[in-house]
């Protein structure tokens, strides 16, 4: 395949960035200088720089020049392993330039507010935008029910520790479940029970038994693209879970961390079916936007709001005013919608490649569960342990995650590994599956 001249420039600049010749945050050669150095016309360099800017490798500063995006990771010579462990968003879809603009705009727009605390529940301007934003996900809420937190993790921490009206204190979690939630529970010695979740969902009869025989504070669930398995509930299952929760007076904490990656427009969150105010809806902007943003939101039923805000105020006075202002501007513009569509398509293509590769190479070696969307796939092992396989894979140049920490101590633990596509390109995905195949048959 013939490489166009501008593509040659694009690849050359990328190599210089990844190899550390052009440092993150540093200025790169001007258009005229690079034109002279490479003996190419300026139109070719301009086209290359526009391409690099569109892919968020560089950004332009008026009357100054082009600079390397500060978040670009430089290659480490010591490590050539394929990374299917890291869950940070891919650099190729990093919205650095757009969000940088929003942060600058927030400084000028909310100049005075930056010097003062915002209300503990969040900036009214952001909450107003979020009310309208959530309606597009079929979650119709009111401003007074929306609370801004320093990431979804803070919301989960508060909910795990605060008192609920019925004074129950045991949390029910899926098995496996989000390991951060397990850390919160274990660190604070909170009573916990588990219910097994498979690709087919959970045993609803078992759920009713647990609800009826135990004082459950809330059921923590990731209905779609669950971490670590990537499993999703059907609409029918969601409605039955809600029915049982209402019957036995149990709250549900819905962690909808990947709502933006949903490719089925009819797959609405649990909260959209809640008519009894028993669902606490939590979401983050980290996985599809910027992890360092550390902003999340929670929709809290009225009976829980007083205890929630009291505990939040004891942890921090308010979430970052600057970050809240920038997010408000980003959501209000069409930049967010554009970024979500691009991100969804980006990951959907990679999941499709992973699904095809697993079907071709691993069909007779392990049980592979690869959803059409999201960022996680799950491989359940037949004749080996996840711990030993993870170690062997790393020696063979592939990093994956052993799902053991996602289980309650003593709960039957399936031998499984999680694959994350965030930091892999398409050739690396197919290569990774071949490494798994080779390792399993060793």
CA max distance for the chain: 77
pLDDT greater at residue 331 or residue 25: 331
- Mean pLDDT of the region 128-138: 93
Tell which CATH architecture fits domain 97-335: 3-Layer(aba) Sandwich (3.40)
Q: What is the pLDDT of residue 11?
A: 85
CB 304 within 8 A of CB 277: no
Please check the confidence at residue 25 and state whether its pLDDT lies above 90: no
The CATH 3.90.1150.10 portion of the chain extends over 82-93+343-440
What's the CA gap between 262 and 281, in Å, rounded?
Answer: 16
Q: What is the pLDDT of residue 193?
A: 98
- Burial (0-12, 13-18, 19+ Cβ within 10 Å), 62: exposed
Q: What is the pLDDT of residue 73?
A: 58
What's the CA gap between 431 and 271, in Å, rounded?
Answer: 39
- pLDDT digits over 266-296, tens only? 899 999 999 999 999 999 987 777 777 788 9
Peptide bond into 176 cis (omega under 30): yes
Supply the CATH classification number for the domain 5-68.
1.10.10.10
- Mean pLDDT of the region 335-350: 91
Q: What is the pLDDT of residue 60?
A: 85
- Mean pLDDT of the region 431-437: 97
Please check the confidence at residue 2 and state whether its pLDDT lies above 50: no
Q: What is the pLDDT of residue 72?
A: 63
In this prediction, residue 16 has a pLDDT band, given cuts at 50, 70 and 90, of confident
pLDDT averaged over every residue in the chain: 90
Q: What is the pLDDT of residue 37?
A: 85
- Mean pLDDT of the region 75-100: 78
- Mean pLDDT of the region 334-349: 90
Return all residues near 390 (Cβ < 8 A) that are at least 6 apart: 400, 401, 402, 417
Least confident of 31-35, 67-71, 432-436: 67-71
Peptide bond into 228 cis (omega under 30): yes
Please check the confidence at residue 3 and state whether its pLDDT lies above 80: no
What's the CA gap between 108 and 119, in Å, rounded?
Answer: 20
- Mean pLDDT of the region 368-382: 95
In percent, the amount of the chain with pLDDT more than 90 equals 62
- Mean pLDDT of the region 215-244: 97
pLDDT greater at residue 248 or residue 315: 248
What's the CA gap between 169 and 151, in Å, rounded?
Answer: 23
Q: What is the pLDDT of residue 51?
A: 86
The CATH 1.10.10.10 portion of the chain extends over 5-68
- Positive/negative CA dihedral, 107, 111, 114, 117: negative
Please check the confidence at residue 164 and state whether its pLDDT lies above 60: yes
User: Hey, how many other C-beta atoms are within 10 angstroms of the C-beta on 167?
Assistant: 8
CB 303 within 8 A of CB 332: no
Query: Global pTM?
Result: 0.82
- Cα-Cα-Cα-Cα dihedral of 268, 273, 296, 314, to 10°? -170
User: Which of 33-47, 57-71, 85-99, 209-223 has maximum average pLDDT?
Assistant: 209-223
Please check the confidence at residue 1 and state whether its pLDDT lies above 50: no
Length of the chain: 442
Domain 82-93+343-440 in CATH 3.90.1150.10? The answer is yes
Q: What is the pLDDT of residue 374?
A: 94
pLDDT greater at residue 190 or residue 289: 190
In this prediction, residue 226 has a pLDDT band, given cuts at 50, 70 and 90, of very high
The closest of 262, 18, 42 to 29, measured between CA atoms, is 42
- pLDDT digits over 54-87, tens only? 777 888 887 788 988 876 655 544 457 899 999 8
Least confident of 298-307, 313-322, 428-437: 313-322
Return all residues near 294 (Cβ < 8 A) that are at least 6 apart: 150, 151, 286, 319, 320, 323
| 3-state secondary structure string across the chain | CCCCHHHHHHHHHHHHHHCCCCCCCCECCCHHHHHHHHCCCHHHHHHHHHHHHHCCCEEEECCCEEEECCCCCCCCCCCCCEECCCCCCCHHHCCHHHHHHHHHHHHHHCCCHHHCCCCCCCCHHHHHHHHHHHHCCCCCCCHHHEEEECCHHHHHHHHHHCCCCCCCCEEEEEECCCHHHHHHHHHCCCCEEEEEEECCEECHHHHHHHHHHCCEEEEEECCCCCCCCCCCCCHHHHHHHHHHHHHCCCEEEEECCCHHHCCCCCCCCHHHHCCCCCEEEEEECCCCCCHHHCCEEEECCHHHHHHHHHHHHHHCCCCCHHHHHHHHHHHHCCHHHHHHHHHHHHHHHHHHHHHHHHHHHCCCCEEEECCCCCCEEEEEECCCCHHHHHHHHHHCCEECEECHHHCCCCCCCCCEEEEECCCCCHHHHHHHHHHHHHHHCC
For 150, phi then psi, to 5°, come to -80, 75
What's the CA gap between 119 and 312, in Å, rounded?
Answer: 11
The closest of 232, 152, 167, 138 to 241, measured between CA atoms, is 232
CB 319 within 8 A of CB 150: yes
- Mean pLDDT of the region 168-183: 96
pLDDT greater at residue 120 or residue 113: 120
Q: What is the pLDDT of residue 395?
A: 94
For 400, phi then psi, to 5°, come to -135, 175
What's the CA gap between 414 and 175, in Å, rounded?
Answer: 9
CB 96 within 8 A of CB 71: yes
- Mean pLDDT of the region 243-255: 98
Q: Tokens 């609803």 map to which residue?
A: 204
Please check the confidence at residue 101 and state whether its pLDDT lies above 90: no
What's the CA gap between 161 and 159, in Å, rounded?
Answer: 6
């Amino acid at each position: 395949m013939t490489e166009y001249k501008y593509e040659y420039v694009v690849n050359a600049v990328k190599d210089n960035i990844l190899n550390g010749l052009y440092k993150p945050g540093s200025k790169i050669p001007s258009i005229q200088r690079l034109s002279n150095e490479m003996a190419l016309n300026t139109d070719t360099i301009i086209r290359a720089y526009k391409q690099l800017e569109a892919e968020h490798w560089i950004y332009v500063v008026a009357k100054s020049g082009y600079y390397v995006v500060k978040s670009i990771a430089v290659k480490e010579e010591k490590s050539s392993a394929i990374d299917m462990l890291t869950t940070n968003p891919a650099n190729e879809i990093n919205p650095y330039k757009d969000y940088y603009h929003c942060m600058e705009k927030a400084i000028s727009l909310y100049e005075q507010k930056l010097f003062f605390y915002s209300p503990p529940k969040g900036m009214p301007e952001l909450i107003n935008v979020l009310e309208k934003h959530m309606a597009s996900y079929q979650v119709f809420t009111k401003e007074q029910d929306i609370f801004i937190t320093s990431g979804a993790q803070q919301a989960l921490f508060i909910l795990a520790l605060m008192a609920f009206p019925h004074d129950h204190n045991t949390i029910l979690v899926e098995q496996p479940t989000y390991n951060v939630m397990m850390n919160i529970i274990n660190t604070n010695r909170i009573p916990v029970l588990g219910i097994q979740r498979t690709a087919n969902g959970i045993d609803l009869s078992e759920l009713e038994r647990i609800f009826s025989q135990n004082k459950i504070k809330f059921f923590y669930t990731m209905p779609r693209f669950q971490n670590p398995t990537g499993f999703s509930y059907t609409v029918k299952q969601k409605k039955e879970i809600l029915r049982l929760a209402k019957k036995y007076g149990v709250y549900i904490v819905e962690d909808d961390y990947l709502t933006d990656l949903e490719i089925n427009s009819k797959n609405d969150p649990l909260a959209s079916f809640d008519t009894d105010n028993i669902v606490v809806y939590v979401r983050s902007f980290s996985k599809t936007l910027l992890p360092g943003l550390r902003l999340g939101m929670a929709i809290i039923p009225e009976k829980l709001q007083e205890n929630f805000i009291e505990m939040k105020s004891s942890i921090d006075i308010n979430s970052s005013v600057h970050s809240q202002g920038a997010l408000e501007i980003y959501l209000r513009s069409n930049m967010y919608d554009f970024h979500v569509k691009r991100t969804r398509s980006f990951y959907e293509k990679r999941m499709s490649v992973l699904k095809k590769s697993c079907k071709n190479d691993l069909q007779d070696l392990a049980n592979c569960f690869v959803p059409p969307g999201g960022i996680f796939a799950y491989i359940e092992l037949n004749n080996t342990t996840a711990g030993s396989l993870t170690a062997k894979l790393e020696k063979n140049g592939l990093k994956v995650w052993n799902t053991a920490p996602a289980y309650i101590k003593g709960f039957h633990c399936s031998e499984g590994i999680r694959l994350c596509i965030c930091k892999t390109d398409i050739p690396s995905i197919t290569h990774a599956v071949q490494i798994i195949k080779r390792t399993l048959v060793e």
